[in-house]
Structure 1
Amino acid sequence: MHARVLKVLEFDKVKAQLLEHVSSSLGKEKIEQLLPSTDIAEIIRALDETDEAATALRLRGHAPLGGMFDIRPSVKRAKIGSVLSPHELLDIASTMYASRQMKTFIESLQEEKTELPHLLQYVEQITAFLEVEQAIKQCIDEYGEVLDHASDRLRAIRQQLRNTEARVREKLETIVRSSSAQKMLSDAIVTIRNDRYVIPVKQEYRHAYGGIVHDQSSSGATLFIEPQVVVDLNNQLQEARVKEKQEIERILTELTKKVAEHADAILMNVAILADLDFIFTKAKYAKKLKATKPTMNNDGYIRLLKARHPLIDQNVVVPNDIELGKNYTTIVITGPNTGGKTVTLKTIGLLTLMAQAGLFVPALDGSELAVFRAVFADIGDEQSIEQSLSTFSSHMVNIVGILRHVDHESLVLFDELGAGTDPQEGAALAIAILDEVRERGARVVATTHYPELKAYGYNRKGVINASVEFDVDTLSPTYKLLIGVPGRSNAFDISKRLGLNERVIERAKAQMSNESSKVENMIASLEQSKRQAEEEQKKAEEARKEAERIRNEWEQKWEQLTAKETELLDDAKRKAAELVRAAQQEAEEVVRELRRLQKEKLAEVKEHELIAAKKRLEDAAPAIEKRRKQRKGNAHEFRAGDEVRVVHLNQKGFLLEKVSDDEWQVQLGILKMKINERDLEYIGSPKVETKPVATVKGRDYHVGLELDLRGERYEDAIARVEKYIDDALLAGYPRVSIIHGKGTGALRKGVQEFLKKHRSVKNIRFGEATEGGIGVTIVELK
């Protein structure tokens, strides 16, 4: 990507925001080097890594990223034989501990069945150096001081130091407390000069104590003298300090050698920690932005759902749906100044760069972005005094450069194309440039003021008009992007609202050409039609959801009925088989009896015996009881408003009106059906409540058996799920359904991870085919 484009689209500001979440200088270095990639496999892997880090943060709330330092210079010095300082060794031990903690953190998540393949691949390469880490921490304290117990020799030397210092101080304290001290000493204290203990003696008494003069005051009135009685002890003290320094040097050398032995592996750990810090920084930034993982493609297709510019306050920015690259490859945005055209342009470009850099984008789940080999942007006032270029000339220099390199793998963003020159020539030039870029197969988004371009999309295949909405009542833009509707100037409406005389406005309208008036009227008609279509679509979507809910209920009841029917049929077959077997056994017994009688009486079987045997055979035949279920007669005379049950559908409804002698129109949910009166059962007066009600703390509490999360951001969805589970528990439900849709699976995965850890959830499973399949999670409550 060209550095100028990155600057124009403010990618550097996104990196600056990323730096606010970094944990170490290692991660900071990676962020400063961050650039968009053009390799789709590399981009998808980077996004997957960010997604895994976001999952880890969601489950644990944080990652152990503290205590990491850039120890690479120290390790390299150790490798070539230098002796490291205590502070350098402390940083190495701290980094070793951080790498060990990170390895444990990721592996523990994996053991809990959380799939983190990319992060696991990183930590599997981390080598733990527990022995080296402990050796350093046992020898050096947190302030960088070598501890006494670092070696037996050091302990003995320091004990000697303390003993000698005590003897020196004792002798000097005796001198200071003597009766002559007040007269001969400037101050009754023991101090240090040149690492030797001395006392402050007045100049005139310099020979009273003998010894060595180490310093004098600025006035020369006081000499700092080491009395002769402590010279030998001070010498011993100096010798002990030299030995201490040598022993410390030996200990540091030993520790440095341990580090040097594993230098390459330690450097590998540092590189991995840098990558992990960078990945988790991206995840933390995504959480702050409420950003989601986009799907990537190589087809030049962009589909952004409720996209927001990441550098605008989330409480102010207006989200927009943007689609480009399938039914049309060029969008021409028209409309007034300050309406949000340039922001829309920058949003498309910046979100593309963010995704290609492995960053989540501030848009709803399910958004999709393309991988472009190059992104070109001509945005803003490019007037250059140094080069004596006008605004138009500067724009043309940029456009010439774009046309030199643009191809079918490019995204091109033009702001105010053709501006800065004669309107007629500028419009013609703008059309020609758009045609050229579009013919090369690039994806193009352009903003313009020229009315000639408002009709551009109507006679060019693959081009669509768009505009930013303007509220004439408030005289302010709404910043909402309208795809398919060219912008209106609104000049007459705004002037009228501001109080311009009606006569002046009518005179101005008369000056407009018929063609311009037709275009403006067409635009107004399109805007009205679009608003009506959006309202109708919203109503249709609500009706579809209600119909889908009823259909799911009916399918579920039909399955239950079929299962019950099968169960009853199997039971009837079993009982019938048992009766037949019993009848066969009885018949065989009768036949054996007849044969016995015939054999005993030589075929002289009397009539009454035959009749008795025949009666036994008849009794042996299984009796099949024929039952006919009769529906209770309707003693009630039906009236409009009655609550009834439709028998053959097993559904409750309300009578609306009688349409014939024996037919009623019945309201079933959102459906109206004609039902024969003989298929209706009277229930009673219509009930107001249609949802289960639980009483909580003296108030009615309504909660449905299902929760629809489709279209929700992850954080909002989890908050709704948590509240809904509590409500369902209060209502006493044993089982509820959570609809999250199929989509990319991110919302489904996050919801199920949350439910698995909820204290009140007994079990979860995907819905059956009739319950919504993998778009629904069935939750059993404790």
Structure 2
Amino acid sequence: MNPRIFQVLEYNKIIDMLKNLAASSLGKGKIEALKPSIKLDEVIRWQQETDEAAAVLRLKGSVPLGGIFDIKQSIKRTTIGGVLNALECLDIASTIYGGKQIKYFIEDMEESDLPILRDLIEQIVPLNELERQIKSCIDDHGHVMDGASDKLRTIRSKIRTSEGRVRDKLDSLTKTKTKMLSDAIVTIRNNRYVLPVKQEYRGAIGGIVHDQSSSGATLFIEPQAVVDLNNQLQEARVQEKHEIERILRELSNRIAEDHVFLYQNVEALGQIDFMFARAKLGEQMHATTPKMNDQGIIKMKQARHPLISGEEVVANDVEIGRNYTAIVITGPNTGGKTVTLKMVGLCTLMAQSGLQIPALDGCEMAVFNDVFADIGDEQSIEQSLSTFSSHMTNIVKILDQVNRETLVLFDELGAGTDPQEGAALAMAILDEVVNKGARVIATTHYPELKAYGFNRDGVINASVEFDVETLRPTYRLLIGVPGRSNAFEISQRLGLNISIIEKAKNQIGTDSRSVENMIASLEAARRGADHDYEEAEQVLKEAEELKQELEKQWQQFEQKKETLYKKAEEKAEKAIIQAREEAELVVSELKRMQNQATLKEHEWIEARKMLDDAQPNLSKKKPKEKQPSQTKELQVGDEVRLLTLNQIGTILEKISDTEFQIQVGIMKVKVKRKDLEFVKREKPLVERPMATVKGSNYHVKPELDLRGERFEDALLELEKYVDDAILAGYSKVSIIHGKGTGALRTGVQNFAKNHSHITTYRFGTMSEGGNGVTILELR
């Protein structure tokens, strides 16, 4: 893509805005290198990245991307034997920590579909040991701590002792030699403690002169009494320096060992920062993700210029590439024609860079191989070119490169020369570009071009609206309506005599008046359509609110229904418990009667009456129409619902086509088919290539998935599974517990630690599921 277009459309300003939103120099580096892509699949991938990052911002509001630095140069120096300073080592530790933070942050968003981000965080290796080693040696201010080594602690203790002795000695001299000193203080020159001695007492103090004041009245002397002490202090400081260098060399070597992982982390973090900077820009602009195509179709709804503030910008609908490939925009100066051109061009570049565009949802943008623009005053004094010549020079270059995969933007096409010749040139240039299949948007003042859109296939007129009442442009784009000059209306509003205006009207041709009347009619029709659209929008909004209210009431109804069902079930349960108790009495009485030699008829009748009375008195509601589950053919062993009791039972015997005996709890009852509803049928056992517990038909899988289980239930299921796996002869099984809060993972490993038949346990490898899986070795 030609570099000149970035300057003409102010694409570089978008890049500057994007850089200000990056959290690290890693992201800024990627942003500086960002250029629009001409590959559709690459652009779609970039848009998906931005969309994922935007989804995270919508859910979480922000992301932890602090403390990340571009440490690539530091890593490279360690690999060639270089020694890093303390601050460079601290930056590496900070970047490791920052990488872990964003990794855990994304991992915790288990409910979100973020394939690209999850793939990136999988590349981040949490180098905990390296981070710990650096942090144990260097504090947050970049100083090597005493605890970095035992030797350094000893040396610094010696330094503090020596400094104390030197200061004590010099403090005593300041008290006894006060008259000889310019000031009773101890100071430092050349890293040695000295006293400020007056020039005339130089011999009285004695020692080494290290410096003097600018006036020469004061000498900074190291008294002979502290020379040895200062020497010891300097020696200790040299030892300190050597020990610090040794510690930093060890840390640098340790960093070099992990250089591959560090490079990998840095690359992933830079890409993540880059993605979120793009998403933040979209959020800032209230932008949306466009649907990308390679067919030259642009369809923007209520699109806004990205560089104009929300209070000033006017949103417009722009569509090109489906029913027409060229738009000719006419209208007054300062009406917004050039802004519209730049908006379409800049939004195209942004979309091809993976950026969202400031418009409503449902937009489509095309991927072009080139975007050309001839916009603004191109007059060049240095090249002795007039405005017209400069424009034509640029247009000639564009015409040499234009094709079906280009977008061309012409501002004031043909301007700067004789109107008739300029209009003819403009139409010829538009014909050339349209015939080559390019997408073109052009602005013009020439009235001849108003008819151009009516006489050419694939070309449509447009205009920027002008309010005659206020004498100001509204900046609204009207597709399909050519612009009017409005000269007579404006003149009349400004007070020009009506007789003069009438004479002027008589001097223009009939054709011109007809065109103006047609345009006025189109404008009126457009305003009416816009009014109808606004009314329809209002009706739609009210319908949406009504729909939401109905959904809310329906939810309340469903909740109330569930509450009533629950109460009915509790009532039915109490009735069944009572019925069971009474049935027990019936059974006991029957057993007593069975032991007698003979039974009298009235006793059987009384026992049958007791059993009938034990039946709970529940209301029976028949369904309005039979469901498929009520017409399905039933078999022995099927699980069914007894509709009169709303209880689940199992078919024991098929008495006839219309009557079955079923087991409900401890009761066996005869039930009519119309009162039964099919629930499920046990599937026949199918042999699979997996282990089978000896002596049974129970199959054991080589893995157990506990995700989503309650903690206590999960451990009970785990215990049973391990027993079955041991019986099946497995030597190794996988327990899937997920990452989550870590509670279930800890519970599984504590169980494994205390189980006598589990020899060892470990986390899964990356191919086995990583930290979300524990592998158990069985014996």
Please provide the CA RMSD for this pair. Answer: 2.9
- 2:754 is matched with which residue? none
Give 1:569 deviation, angstroms: 4.3
TM-score normalised per structure 1 = 0.69
Paired with 2:225 and 2:286, the residues of 1 have a C-alpha distance of 76
The structure-2 alpha-carbon separation of the partners of 1:238 and 1:373, relative to structure 1 and needing over 3 Å to count, comes to same
Paired with 1:281 and 1:550, the residues of 2 have a C-alpha distance of 38
Name structure 1 gaps, 5 residues minimum.
579-583, 586-782
Paired with 2:453 and 2:49, the residues of 1 have a C-alpha distance of 41
Secondary structure at the residue paired with 1:404? helix
**What is the aligned counterpart of 1:195 among 191, 202, 221?**
191
Give 1:544 deviation, angstroms: 8.2
Matched, 1:415 2:415: no
Paired with 1:205 and 1:543, the residues of 2 have a C-alpha distance of 100
The structure-2 alpha-carbon separation of the partners of 1:170 and 1:341, relative to structure 1 and needing over 3 Å to count, comes to same
Give 1:20 deviation, angstroms: 2.4
- 2:683 is matched with which residue? none
Paired with 2:8 and 2:197, the residues of 1 have a C-alpha distance of 74
- 2:624 is matched with which residue? 568
Matched, 1:374 2:370: yes
Moved more, 68-77 or 335-344: 68-77
Give 1:196 deviation, angstroms: 2.1
- 2:434 is matched with which residue? 438
Partner AA of 1:47 in structure 2: Q
Give 1:430 deviation, angstroms: 1.1
Paired with 2:76 and 2:624, the residues of 1 have a C-alpha distance of 81
Matched, 1:274 2:292: no
Superposed, which structure 2 residues align to 1:431-510 within 5 Å? 431-510=427-506
**What is the aligned counterpart of 2:162 among 161, 164, 171?**
164
Matched, 1:396 2:382: no
Secondary structure at the residue paired with 1:568? coil
- 1:711 is matched with which residue? none
Paired with 1:461 and 1:221, the residues of 2 have a C-alpha distance of 97
Paired with 1:549 and 1:146, the residues of 2 have a C-alpha distance of 64
- 2:95 is matched with which residue? 95
- 2:350 is matched with which residue? 354
- 1:116 is matched with which residue? 114
- 1:529 is matched with which residue? 525
Give 1:119 deviation, angstroms: 1.2
The structure-2 alpha-carbon separation of the partners of 1:116 and 1:543, relative to structure 1 and needing over 3 Å to count, comes to closer
Partner AA of 1:437 in structure 2: V
Paired with 2:402 and 2:263, the residues of 1 have a C-alpha distance of 42
Q: How many matched pairs?
A: 567
The structure-2 alpha-carbon separation of the partners of 1:171 and 1:538, relative to structure 1 and needing over 3 Å to count, comes to closer
The structure-2 alpha-carbon separation of the partners of 1:241 and 1:539, relative to structure 1 and needing over 3 Å to count, comes to closer
**What is the aligned counterpart of 1:237 among 212, 229, 233?**
233
Give 1:27 deviation, angstroms: 1.7
Matched, 1:516 2:572: no
- 2:143 is matched with which residue? 145
Give 1:204 deviation, angstroms: 4.3
Partner AA of 1:4 in structure 2: R
Superposed, which structure 2 residues align to 1:179-218 within 5 Å? 181-218=177-214
Deviation digits for residues 404-439 of structure 1 (CA, Å, limit 9, x no counterpart): 011111111111111111111111111111111111
Paired with 2:138 and 2:473, the residues of 1 have a C-alpha distance of 65
Deviation digits for residues 45-68 of structure 1 (CA, Å, limit 9, x no counterpart): 111111111111111111111112
Paired with 2:132 and 2:544, the residues of 1 have a C-alpha distance of 64
Matched, 1:78 2:134: no
Matched, 1:19 2:22: no
The structure-2 alpha-carbon separation of the partners of 1:147 and 1:547, relative to structure 1 and needing over 3 Å to count, comes to closer
- 2:332 is matched with which residue? 336
Superposed, which structure 2 residues align to 1:236-275 within 5 Å? 236-275=232-271
Give 1:241 deviation, angstroms: 1.1
Secondary structure at the residue paired with 1:286? helix
Secondary structure at the residue paired with 1:413? strand
Give 1:32 deviation, angstroms: 1.7
Deviation digits for residues 369-427 of structure 1 (CA, Å, limit 9, x no counterpart): 11111111111111111111111111111111111011111111111111111111111
Matched, 1:387 2:386: no
Paired with 1:184 and 1:536, the residues of 2 have a C-alpha distance of 99
Paired with 1:205 and 1:441, the residues of 2 have a C-alpha distance of 97
- 1:429 is matched with which residue? 425
TM-score normalised per structure 2 = 0.69
Secondary structure at the residue paired with 2:624? helix
Matched, 1:223 2:219: yes
The structure-2 alpha-carbon separation of the partners of 1:377 and 1:569, relative to structure 1 and needing over 3 Å to count, comes to closer
Give 1:549 deviation, angstroms: 11
Moved more, 212-221 or 342-351: 212-221
Paired with 1:117 and 1:28, the residues of 2 have a C-alpha distance of 24
Paired with 2:45 and 2:179, the residues of 1 have a C-alpha distance of 83
Give 1:188 deviation, angstroms: 2.5
Paired with 2:352 and 2:504, the residues of 1 have a C-alpha distance of 50
Partner AA of 1:483 in structure 2: I
Name structure 2 gaps, 5 residues minimum.
559-619, 632-642, 645-654, 657-779
Paired with 2:284 and 2:94, the residues of 1 have a C-alpha distance of 29
The structure-2 alpha-carbon separation of the partners of 1:241 and 1:514, relative to structure 1 and needing over 3 Å to count, comes to same
Paired with 1:203 and 1:533, the residues of 2 have a C-alpha distance of 98
